[in-house]
A and B are shown apart, each in its own frame.
Chain A
Amino acid sequence: MHLIWLIPLLPAFGALVNGVVGVRYFSKRTAGLLACATMAGALALSLYAFFELLTLGPEAREYVVRPLTWISALPLQLKDGSIGSFSIPWGFRLDPLSAMMILVVTGIGFLIHVYSVGYMHGESRGAYARFFAYLNLFVFFMLMLVLGDNFVVMFVGWEGVGLCSYLLIGYYYEKKSASDAGKKAFIVNRIGDWGFIIGMFLIFSVFGTLDFREVANAAGSMPVESAGFGTLSVITLLLFVGATGKSAQIPLYVWLPDAMEGPTPVSALIHAATMVTAGVYMVGRNAVLFSHSPETMQIVAIVGVATAFVAATIGLVQNDIKRVLAYSTVSQLGFMFLAMGVGAYAAGAFHLMTHAFFKALLFLCSGSVIHAMAGQQDMRHMGGLKKHLPVTYVTMLIGTLAIAGIPPLSGFFSKDEILFRAFQSNKIIWGVAVVTALMTAFYMFRLMSMTFFGTYRGPAFAGAGGHGHADTGHGHASAGHGAAATGHGEWHGPHESPKSMTIPLLVLAVGAIVAGLVGVPAALNGSNDIEHFLHPSFSVSAVGGTHEGASADLAEAPEGSEGGSKGAALSGFAHASRPKAAASSASAPATESEGIAAGKLAAAASHEAVPAEGGEAGSHASWAVEIGLMLLSVLVGITGMLVAYRFYVRTPEIADRLAQRWAGAHRVLSNKYYVDELYDATAIAGTMASARGLWVFDAKVVDGAVNGSGWLTLFSSWFSHVIDKYVVDGLVNFVGAVLEEGSFVFRRLQTGLIQNYALVMLFGVFAFVSIYLMSR
């Protein structure tokens, strides 16, 4: 477990080698092997660390290692006038949440690497190595993000993944749409990062530290801002802005659909499984802060559900297979934020994990389909592919069922948990969420129907019907790739993908099936393991009984001191002992302050009709409700699927008729609510206008000032030149002239006759002797 700092470094090493050496010299095989090997190593280490973590007591599952000091302490003034030492160690923190995250990142990352080996097969050697270098680099930054034990390290990862997503979306940089999408993603992320970094500043100026645990302790000892909008609310709101940027929530979700310009594995890894969940992870990481500002929680919940709903509605009518998945991702992220908003952090994280599995699975399947259709992404030209690529079909069906929430697949448990908590928290939100779930099931099954069922609508190909998979294996894959890269090319029709792609599909399918079983709710006589597992990460949080808070604090008090001692050991200066003192001082009052906090929260919860988290322990009152909700959600899922089946498989004309009937709505939806146009009209146009104005200002005023100063310099130099020429030189020449004229007289004395000079000497002698005589 003390080796966790090695987990990010392995992909970093791969990225370095591939990026520096590989791009020039490595063969495709070497590059792919290296990347996958580093990922495998990271995965192995993660598993090792995870199981080591499991061996610890449930409340002691926290481990911090600080191998290096990044920024040695520099004293800065805080908001309350005191001086805080701003010292940032390269600290890595392993607790249940980050453990889960690194498992997800490394595991799915590894699978996607393997998948990419086959998928990117058609690329040229250099581009191949470049792709894997980017991918490794992304994994490195993602791991930094999830493992960082303070905001700054996290921010490093945060920015790094943004950079990598830009690089990977714009991977086909010769395609204008791709590079534009990359820029769009980058810029939109910037807006979010702005909020995040401001939040960081505020956090430091308030708490005097950026260490997660210390911040959590300090915040835990603060009163809940149930009334009014306090500092914590501002902080959390700013952090949430960052989260919306990274996790594609309203209003910053627009970059995600365009990000589908990147290669499919990228979409799977970054835009489904890992990066987009960074926001969720960050909110969960700061659960204490959020739970101390109910307003923000409210906003988060509302934004989440709204995002989920809007994205789902847009997803209904999209025809691009990847875009459908993208919007479903957005909407699922909305679900997660909804969970966070209602305080169900564990549920949110749970859904994050399951979603990572099935959404990665879905993306990879869609990649396989596109691969089979030679780069064709429009579902209207697919259909009936079931018999062409059976593995893809089966795995994708599993993924669909999972996301639609059909038990016992993973999606069911996580989404149902969220819905249940939403129901407990707010009926309206719950209603919207249910409708969203219905639509989710509908558009996912619509996608399935249009892709695999029905009749084949794709372009004609040689030897339709007659086709052996064995003989058309590899060659077709490469052919399809040439098509994927160029858009056209010799193509022998849809065919199953090579092993390197199908095996990850199968693995992920298994994952999508079983991932949910770790979170079987008590209502189904399951012990919600994931909940208990993750709980310490959110402890000192609003939810949680007094004893839990206290125990959590008891659990973390030694950790804090240990971390402090580590800091002292690693960065040898007097301030290093500060976090230790803070931790101990924080933990000492924490025990009773938590009691108070919990009491308040209990009041707040009852007043907000939010039963305590301990409900699953205590109140069996909501058991019937929970079961009912489960049945309802299952019903909803099945309904959506059937409707979709009927619309798009049985009688497709119904869909068209509906489309004609609500043409306006249909147009609005298919144009994504004109949000991009709106942004173009407002933000982008405004930016352009202001930029142009600034340019004019620059050209006229700044350049004018520069030119004016230049002209002034010229004039002054000319003036000084005149002075020099006429005054100074005049003086010099005058002196010279005077001397010259005078010399006409005096140089007569220099006759060149030695005797005359001697005569002068003689005069001198005469004078001295005369003086001598006089003085006698």
Chain B
Amino acid sequence: MLPWLTALMLALLAYGLYGGLVLAPADYQQGDSFRIIYVHVPAAWMSMFIYMMMAVSGAIGLIWHIKLAEIVSICSAPIGASFTLLALITGSLWGKPMWGTWWVWDARLTSELILLFLYLGVIGLYNAIEDKRTASRSVAILALVGVVNIPIIHYSVEWWSSLHQGPTVTKFAKPSIHIDMLIPLLVMAVAFKVYYVIALLLRSRNELVQREQGGRWLDDILEEK
């Protein structure tokens, strides 16, 4: 299955990149710098989507004691964190030419930064607890608490930035996005999702091997090699 997924991802990525970098017309305000959108926005979407996935599969693992759900939950964390980091870096790279500074305390960037902290907390907690079953269950609780909090955090940050900044920076306010710009964006988003699945499968396999040392089926696999 992995080769197929990889091929699919590469195809989607190629099309998305071509569409985004070549086909899409330059933005009349931002020029070519808006092309960062094709990594920035999908990465930001993924960062939230993966957190949701982590919490949901964590909850499933917590309630029904399904090992696989626990593994999916914890293996999502580093991938999500890397997407969050990516969204932050690209956001900052986009901000420099647009606003003239590397960092603006804009609502979305700030929320994203806090999300990164939440991810770091999850990863830190998982690594700190020695018994991996307990660890993944603890992490699931934390992720659920985080999910309940994210809307509150997001809302408060939004409110905060409107209070402190005034309506000067409205970078994402584009009421009508050109269809040639939109399609590559969606394709890139799908490509990132497929990437997530691939990375998740790879990580889950490792985690499973690590936990099931001494299991029978592992011996069988080794026998084949």
Partners in one complex: no
Binding site for A on B (CB under 8 A): none
Binding site for B on A (CB under 8 A): none
